[in-house]
Amino acid sequence: MKGDGIPAAASPATAGERASERIVEVDELTVEYRTGGRRGHHTAVDRVSLHVDGGEIVGVVGESGSGKTTLGMAVAGLGPRTSGEIRLLGRDLRTLGAADLRRLRPEVQVIFQDPHGSLDPRQSVRSGLRELRGLQPERTGWIDDEELLRQVRLSPDLLGRLPHQLSGGQAQRVCIARALLMRPRLLVADEPTSGLDVSVQAEVLGLLLRLRETTGVAVLFVSHDLSVVRRICDRVHVMLRGRVVEEGPAGRVLEAPEHEYTRKLVSAVPGRRLRGAAAHEKAPTGHGSLT
Ligand SMILES: Nc1ncnc2c1ncn2[C@@H]1O[C@H](COP(=O)(O)OP(=O)(O)OP(=O)(O)O)[C@@H](O)[C@H]1O
């Protein structure tokens, strides 16, 4: 730890050390967007409180427009905030000076739904990584490119490829590798598997579960897909019109929902896909072949 309480970026904390630490704490967060209507604003996130601890995967679910992305972006420090507090590793981002902010921001990395849209189409995987290393040399020296790709179950042969030469699943794993390079404490994953085929979706979910085990990274997992959330999340928050209407362990909330709205969401899931043990209770060992 540095004297200011911010952990040194390159300190190699083990997964065990990283677990149980409070990574992010959101207190009564409200986000309003300006609109042209009579009220002049729209409340996208309305007094939401939540926390994510080291190694936890915490879901945010709800229908389209319920405020999930707005919440995720605010937690990542990338979106607006009207009121309320977001403390990352115990520090309120608003009170930090520029140098502290620069050091703390990489602790949260974001993965989006469209991996190809997140990658520069003119940049090979290798040159994209080189650019990131140039921006944060002190954080990124812990691993070389080849090993980084192996960590996300990609062949190092892909380093020379441009984004359009990658499948959706490969591109998403490159995005995860780029995030991982920064040794973040928290990944905000916004519908990271929605655009992928079901089998590729399962591989990416398995990868996130394995990375949580090996690195202790926590994940705020934003999704409208309850069966995916049931597979991967420890706890879940259900959002309706900007408010959290129900929260708790993923198994309890999704198998025995208490709020009427959660019941409605659950009843819309076909078959019995929410039943049974979550994937983290039977996490794949991840020794599959590289692609
Ligand atoms: N930049 C913006 N300006 C004005 N309103 C916005 C803006 N971004 C989002 N909204 C509104 O805020 C509300 C929440 O949007 P948000 O994208 O956070 O919801 P979501 O649950 O992530 O939806 P989806 O699953 O469709 O992405 C919606 O009513 C949306 O129309």
Mean pLDDT of the chain: 87
Alpha-helix runs per DSSP H in 92-249 = 98-104, 115-118, 125-135, 137-140, 145-151, 168-181, 198-215, 226-232
224 CA: nearest ligand 1 atom? 25
> How far is Cα 32 from Cα 195, in angstroms, rounded to an integer?
28
Note the pLDDT of residue 237.
98
How do the domains of the chain map onto residue ranges? 15-120+186-282
Per-residue confidence (pLDDT) for residue 156, from 0 to 100: 96
Best substitution site from 31, 61, 69 to test ligand 1's pocket, by max atoms within 8 Å of Cβ? 69
Report the pLDDT value the prediction gives residue 284, as an integer from 0 to 100. 40
Q: Which atom of ligand 1 is least distant from the CA of 242?
A: 14
CA of residue 45 to ligand 1 center, whole Å: 9
Nearest atom in ligand 1 to the alpha carbon of residue 45 is 14
pLDDT of residue 79: 87
Write phi, then psi, for 113 (nearest 5 degrees): -65, -40
Confidence tier at 95 by pLDDT (50, 70, 90): confident
pLDDT-derived band at 99 (thresholds 50, 70, 90) equals: confident
Coil, strand or helix at 145: helix
What local confidence, expressed as pLDDT, does residue 285 receive?
Answer: 39
Query: Distance between CA 227 and CA 248 in Å, rounded?
Result: 16
Q: CA 134, CA 140: separation in Å to the nearest integer?
A: 9
Residue 275 pLDDT > 90: no
Q: What percent of the chain lies above the pLDDT cut of 70?
A: 87
Q: What is the pLDDT of residue 93?
A: 81
Structure tokens at 213: 């085990």
Does 273 have pLDDT greater than 80? no
User: Ligand 1, atom 17: nearest CA belongs to which residue?
Assistant: 69
The per-residue pLDDT for 238 is: 98
CB neighbour class for 286 (10 Å; exposed up to 12, middle 13-18, buried from 19) = middle
Radius of gyration of the chain (CA): 19
- For residue 233, the model assigns a pLDDT of 97
Give the residue from 177, 159, 246 showing the smallest Cα distance to 217. 177
Higher pLDDT, 237 or 291: 237
Residue 281: what pLDDT? 45
What would the two tokens of residue 102 be?
């620069």
Instruction: Flag whether the ipTM exceeds 0.95.
Output: yes
Q: For residue 246, how far is its CA from the centre of ligand 1 (angstroms)? A: 20
Ligand 1 mutation pick, 29, 32, 42, max ligand atoms within 8 A of CB: 42
Residue type, 89: L
Of residues 208, 199, 211, the one with CA closest to residue 169: 199
Nearest CA to ligand 1 atom 28: 65
Mean pLDDT for the stretch of residues 168-178:
95
Q: Regarding the domain delimited by 15-120+186-282, which CATH topology (the fold level of the hierarchy) does it fall under?
A: Rossmann fold (3.40.50)
Q: Which of 33, 34, 46, 113 to mutate to test the pocket of ligand 1 (most atoms within 8 A of CB)?
A: 33
pLDDT of 40 reads: 86
Distance 63 CA to ligand 1 centre (A): 11
- Name the pLDDT band for 98 (thresholds 50, 70, 90): confident
Return the higher-pLDDT residue of 181 and 19.
Answer: 181
Could you read off the pLDDT of 188-226 as tens digits, one per residue?
A: 999 999 888 888 899 999 999 999 999 999 999 999 999
Ligand 1 site: residues with CB under 6 angstroms?
33, 35, 42, 44, 62, 64-70, 224
Q: Nearest Cα to 73, choosing from 86, 56, 54, 92?
A: 86
What three-state secondary structure class fits 23?
strand
* Res. 286: pLDDT tops 60: no
Q: What is the mean pLDDT of residues 168-174?
A: 94
- What single letter denotes the amino acid at residue 237? H
Query: Which atom of ligand 1 sits closest to the CA of residue 35?
Result: 4
Ligand 1, atom 16: closest residue by C-alpha:
67
Q: Which residue from 89, 65, 63 is spatially nearest to 75, judged by alpha carbons? A: 89
Which residue's structure tokens are 């605010």?
Answer: 74
The bridge status of strand 57-61 relative to strand 235-240 is: parallel
Digit-coded pLDDT (tens) for 53-87: 999 999 999 999 999 999 999 999 888 889 999 99
Give mean pLDDT, residues 42-49. 96
